A and B are shown apart, each in its own frame.
Chain A
Amino acid sequence: NAGVTQTPKFQVLKTGQSMTLQCAQDMNHNSMYWYRQDPGMGLRLIYYSASEGTTDKGEVPNGYNVSRLNKREFSLRLESAAPSQTSVYFCASNYPARGGEQYFGPGTRLTVT
């Protein structure tokens, strides 16, 4: 039982390049989430998927797209990376219910130069 896995762990991009961050969970959770973490700002929600086949914007969706490929996988795409997207990205999953704790992946550290 691996929990939530993310690839890659580290990535350096040049401005304007594109890339996809991958996330998978093996806990049969319905909901999945993408966050970014910046110093002094906590974690901010980029996009989430309440269930397979649905996605919704979070607090900071500009510059990102997502795909809920199936129940296990939820990817985050940067179409044209900008230095402001330098951050640590976390994926999480849970059963969406009162008290349903989220389980987090190990994170992807992205630097855009």
Chain B
Amino acid sequence: AQSVTQLDSHVSVSEGTPVLLRCNYSSSYSPSLFWYVQHPNKGLQLLLKYTSAATLVKGINGFEAEFKKSETSFHLTKPSAHMSDAAEYFCVVSDTSGTYKYIFGTGTRLKVLA
């Protein structure tokens, strides 16, 4: 069965410094992986996805993630945090049994300090 673990429930960074949000996954097959962002009182927006093409995936708003099979990781990074990046971020693995259901991580709340 697939599962995903977000290693930090809260991350604080200063504006202009790098962002690292960590995600480990478990999957019997080659997974599809996603990062979504949720701003306060809003719905979820897709940042980026990995589907077995390039291991370094670029997304919107300067975010990127690297798929590392040997480490079963899919960490989200951004070189320079902006105040508008403050939000909750979810790592998601897609079920590969044929239903393609999502399995969500518990989320990481990113705080950006001025």
Contact = CB atoms under 8 A, between A and B. Distances in A.
Interface of A: 31, 33, 40-45, 48, 50, 56, 58, 90, 92, 94, 96-102, 104-107
A55 B106 CA distance: 25
B43 A104 contact: yes
Contact of B43 (A31, A41, A45, A90): A90
A49 to B, nearest CB: 11
Nearest to A94: B100
Given A58-B101, A96-B99, A42 B90 contact: yes
Give 3 closest A-B pairs by Cβ, nearest first. Answer: A99-B51, A42-B104, A104-B44
Interface residues of B, number: 23
Contacts of B36: 104
A90 B44 contact: yes
Contact of A99 (B9, B32, B107): B32
B42 A106 contact: yes
Q: Which of A41, A50, A92, A99 has the most CB of B within 10 A?
A: A99
Contacts of B101: 33, 45, 48, 58
B32 A98 contact: yes
B7 interface: no
Given A40-B9, A105-B43, 17 more contacts: A33-B101, A40-B107, A42-B90, A42-B105, A42-B107, A43-B90, A43-B104, A90-B43, A92-B44, A96-B99, A96-B100, A98-B52, A98-B96, A100-B94, A104-B45, A106-B42, A107-B43
A100 B100 contact: yes
Interface in B1-57: 9, 32, 34, 36, 42-46, 49, 51-52
Contacts of B104: 42-44
Contacts of B94: 98-100
Nearest to B102: A102
Nearest to A101: B46
A45 B9 contact: no
Nearest to A45: B101
A45 B51 contact: no
B93 to A, nearest CB: 12
